[in-house]
Amino acid sequence: MTDKPITGSAPSESDLSFTITPGTDAFTYTITNTSSVTGIAQWDLGNGIKISGNEVTTKYQVADTYTIKLTLVTNGGFASITEDHVQTETDFSIFTDPVYVNLSGGIDSIEGRTWVIDSTESGHFGISAATVDWPEWWAATPLQKAGGGAYDDEFNFNINDFVFTQINHGDNYVNNAIADQSYYSNPVPVDGADVRVNYASPAPGSWAISDEGGVKYLTLTGATPLFFGFDLGIVNGRHRIDLIEKNLIKLSGIGFDGNRWYYQLIPKGYVKPKLKYDLNVTATGNENEFSIGIANIDLPEGWSISSLEYSFGDGSSNEITNDAAATFTHTYMRANTYVVTVIATANDETFTKTQEVVIASNHSSYVEYLLNAMVMYNDFGETTMLPLTGQDCNVAIVENPDHSLWPNRSNHSASYSKTDQQWANAYFQLQQGYRFDIRQQSIFKILVYGKAGDVVLLKMENTDLGGNAWQTGVELKYTIQQTNKWEIVEYDFDGAATADLSWDPGLVYLMSADVKADVRYNHNYYNVIRIMLNPGNGTGTHSFYFDDLAGPHIEGLK
């Protein structure tokens, strides 16, 4: 046998035959196509399962007579034959099998068990390639398909005669490519893609569970389309059971388009358990200091807290722990209203609490960073008014080497490293048409973190002069005071002089003793800031970190 039909005339019933061979137990059978012509064997096994292949294995677990139908398809046409298989024994283990019990409620549930789409959770619908096991291409966001006719559908599984009932309240959500079926009418686009259609309540059908190589499948069979709220033409109504629990089912099946589609269901009326707790933010009595933690924890049975992430609302680094009893003390430096947030993760779900903290006054040790008429140019996190570039050095945005204490609790900073380069610099150049204006505010600020004794230079230049920009450049230097401690550096160009050009009478006119007072330079002139470490030293490697570059307001630049 082959899996491709041969060219020729249509087969006849007399050409078709198959055998039914008992398997390893009283309920398992192997059914083999023994037809005298070659074609594609398609089976309706009579137990709710439809499948293709020359040899298939299935179970008949309830005593009954099952009609097995073989359809053989060739290039010339097709033919079908049927044969009854009488099953005399019942596999009573299915009535206690967790898969059957979770799905249908088992023999104790006379009315079966009813499920609905888990519409408020991400991934209740999804799509991927057929060979993938998660919705890599698209996963529906909560209630994304509201108004589509899928979310009010109910799906009842009854173990008595294995009846499946889809209650759709007269409409359904259908893939646009298959919405022209005769069952559907009045298509209305929803969510810009597929359509809601009128669909009279589907006739009850049947459901069956099969086990193929240790993977369980749920198959729906009916005279009219049966599906879980969103008709995607699942081939043979065959859904792989990716997860089945008492209160959650995850299924996937191959759609009409050859892709794998995903469904997520919960029991009708089911209220998901939630972690309950209080967020405690309490003043310690120390200046602007608060103790932060959680209390009054109410965990659903069988749950545990796997992670707690605290955000203090002031840009400092988050604290993460798995200890529900842990508390953190945090000091706020500036007067403001902050929002403390904790995200608790339990049973793979997240639960968030927030609380405001009002700080009435600045901490006594706080030094105002942004002065009047100053703006943040780049904090290497949220604000990037001026982009960072490196010349003859390596510069990058990296994790803050020490975010434990003020003045720098941000998550990221910039790093600078040069090797055997005298004038390597990190620079920040204004966009074309913009220039610095230091008439009202002449102070630039930066945070530095490095080796005590290293020198950090900040310089302004005019790139219009190309290689001669140094001639009118103005620079200030700062010597790092402590090793590996964040320090606030202030460069005030009030009274700062340009380069000494007295050695060349032809250039003396460019010199200025005070760039802030000099109308040639105090506005509409400088357009780049350069930052250097140990300028003039071209031997070895020199590195440091810096953050929060700020300076005079630049009119019109955002």
Instruction: Kindly state the average pLDDT of the residues 180-202.
Output: 92
Structure tokens at 242: 């990716």
Give the integer Cα–Cα distance in Å for 464 and 88. 96
Q: Which pLDDT score is estimated for 334? A: 84
Q: Residue 1's pLDDT band (boundaries 50, 70, 90)?
A: very low
The residue ranking higher by pLDDT, 93 or 8, is 93
Tens digit of each residue's pLDDT (9 = 90 or more) over 253-278: 999 999 999 999 999 999 999 999 99
Percent of the chain with pLDDT over 70: 98
Q: Residue 315's pLDDT band (boundaries 50, 70, 90)?
A: confident
Give the integer Cα–Cα distance in Å for 52 and 46. 14
The residue ranking higher by pLDDT, 3 or 524, is 524
Check if the beta carbon of residue 129 is closer than 8 Å to that of residue 260: yes
Tens digit of each residue's pLDDT (9 = 90 or more) over 71-94: 999 999 999 999 999 999 999 999
Instruction: Kindly state the average pLDDT of the residues 320-326.
Output: 96
Q: Which pLDDT score is estimated for 381? A: 87
What CATH number matches the domain at 13-89, 2.60.120.10, 1.10.760.10, 3.30.70.1450, 2.60.40.10?
A: 2.60.40.10
Q: Which residues of 451-464 are buried (b: 16+ CB within 10 A; e: fewer)?
A: eeebbbbbbbbbee
Give the integer Cα–Cα distance in Å for 370 and 377. 11
Give the integer Cα–Cα distance in Å for 232 and 255. 5
Q: Beta strands 171-174 and 230-231: pairing type?
A: parallel
Check if the beta carbon of residue 66 is closer than 8 Å to that of residue 84: yes
Instruction: Kindly state the average pLDDT of the residues 410-414.
Output: 93
Average pLDDT of every residue of the chain: 94
DSSP 62: S
Burial (0-12, 13-18, 19+ Cβ within 10 Å), 13: exposed
CATH topology of domain 94-267: Lipocalin (2.40.128)
Instruction: Kindly state the average pLDDT of the residues 223-233.
Output: 96
Tens digit of each residue's pLDDT (9 = 90 or more) over 335-348: 999 999 999 999 88
Q: Which pLDDT score is estimated for 7? A: 52
Q: Residue 471's pLDDT band (boundaries 50, 70, 90)?
A: very high
Q: Residue 2's pLDDT band (boundaries 50, 70, 90)?
A: very low
DSSP 143: T
* CATH 2.60.120.260 domain span(s) along the chain: 374-552
Residue with tokens 């519409």: 119
Burial (0-12, 13-18, 19+ Cβ within 10 Å), 323: exposed
Cα angle 496, 372, 490 (rounded to 5 degrees) comes to 40
271-278 CB contacts, 8 Å cutoff, 24+ apart:
272/247, 273/300, 273/303, 273/347, 274/300, 274/349, 274/351, 275/299, 275/300, 275/303, 275/305, 275/344, 275/346, 275/347, 275/349, 275/351, 277/344, 277/351, 277/353, 278/353
Give the integer Cα–Cα distance in Å for 88 and 61. 9
For the cut 80, the answer to whether the pLDDT of residue 6 exceeds it is: no
Q: Which pLDDT score is estimated for 235? A: 95
Check if the beta carbon of residue 272 is closer than 8 Å to that of residue 282: no
Q: Residue 213's pLDDT band (boundaries 50, 70, 90)?
A: confident
Instruction: Kindly state the average pLDDT of the residues 227-250.
Output: 96
Half-sphere exposure of 85 (CA within 13 A, CB side): 27
Half-sphere exposure of 453 (CA within 13 A, CB side): 1
Residue with tokens 């800031």: 529
CATH class of the domain comprising 276-359 = mainly beta
Instruction: Kindly state the average pLDDT of the residues 231-240.
Output: 96
56-60, 119-123, 349-353, 366-370: lowest mean pLDDT where?
366-370
Tens digit of each residue's pLDDT (9 = 90 or more) over 351-378: 999 999 999 999 998 877 777 778 999 9
Instruction: Kindly state the average pLDDT of the residues 453-468.
Output: 97
Q: Which pLDDT score is estimated for 374? A: 87
Burial (0-12, 13-18, 19+ Cβ within 10 Å), 162: buried
Q: Which pLDDT score is estimated for 188? A: 94
Which residues does 61 contact at the CB level (< 8 Å), separation at least 6? 27, 87, 90, 91, 94
* CATH 2.60.40.10 domain span(s) along the chain: 13-89, 276-359
* DSSP E strand boundaries for 255-299: 260-267, 276-283, 289-298
Give the integer Cα–Cα distance in Å for 10 and 75. 7
Q: Which pLDDT score is estimated for 514? A: 98
Check if the beta carbon of residue 352 is closer than 8 Å to that of residue 275: no
DSSP code string of 397-436: EEE-S--SSTT---SEEEEEEEES-SS-EEEEEPPTT---
Which superfamily is assigned to 374-552 in CATH?
Galactose-binding domain-like (2.60.120.260)
Instruction: Kindly state the average pLDDT of the residues 130-147.
Output: 95
Burial (0-12, 13-18, 19+ Cβ within 10 Å), 229: buried
The candidate with the shortest Cα–Cα distance to 318, out of 410, 447, 401, is 410
For the cut 50, the answer to whether the pLDDT of residue 485 exceeds it is: yes
* CATH 2.40.128 domain span(s) along the chain: 94-267
The helix or strand, by DSSP H or E, that contains position 178, with its residue range, turns out to be none
Instruction: Kindly state the average pLDDT of the residues 115-122.
Output: 96
